[in-house]
Amino acid sequence: MTERVHLHPELHKWVKARLDRYPTRRSLLVPTLLEASKYQDYVSPGVMYAIAELLEVPASEVMSVAGFYTLVPKHPVGKHLIQVCHNISCHLREGDEIIAHLEDQLGIKVGETTEDGRFSLLTVECLAACGSAPVMMVDEELYENVTPELISRVLGEIN
């Protein structure tokens, strides 16, 4: 059995405020999964069951949809998420060196979380900022023309 999770009241409010924008409740599923990750560490099966109830969608469908979208965290991640682009335009501008440098600085490999739980490092597909490659995103902030110096500064400023 999955434990019962109570969704954050703010999330309830958020959904309620948007329901009349759509012809079906289900239409809010993807945005709600994304919004839910702001209030919970990650979107656990319990959270998915609660969202299923709220939006009147079968729980199996919620899990299937959550599984499809990479921005919906399905497992615990670090306090700060570093997403660095590994796609073609960043690669051409020496992005691989930047990824290697991040691994060195954080002492972890791509796909891992630091022992203190502060940082998770992921590679991502094109972030649509190829004119200022290489690029990375820390939480919701985009960093362009990334250099080793910029990485040291950004990691130092984040607590």
How many residues contact another protein, by CB under 8 A? 53
Residue 118 Cα to chain centre, angstroms: 14
Residue number, 26 or 118, with CB nearest to another protein:
26
| Residue 128 interacting with another protein (CB under 8 A) | yes
Integer Cα distance of 22 and 1 in angstroms: 32
Which one among 57, 108, 136, 138 touches another protein, defined by CB under 8 A? 57
Integer Cα distance of 41 and 61 in angstroms: 21
Residue number, 1 or 53, with CB nearest to another protein:
53
Q: Are 83 and 134 in contact (CB under 8 A)?
A: no
Q: Which residues of 96-107 are buried (b: 16+ CB within 10 A; e: fewer)?
A: eebbebbeeebe
Residues near another protein, by CB under 8 A: 18, 21-24, 26-31, 33-34, 55, 57, 61, 64-65, 68-72, 86-89, 91-93, 96-97, 99-100, 103, 109-111, 122-133, 137, 140, 142
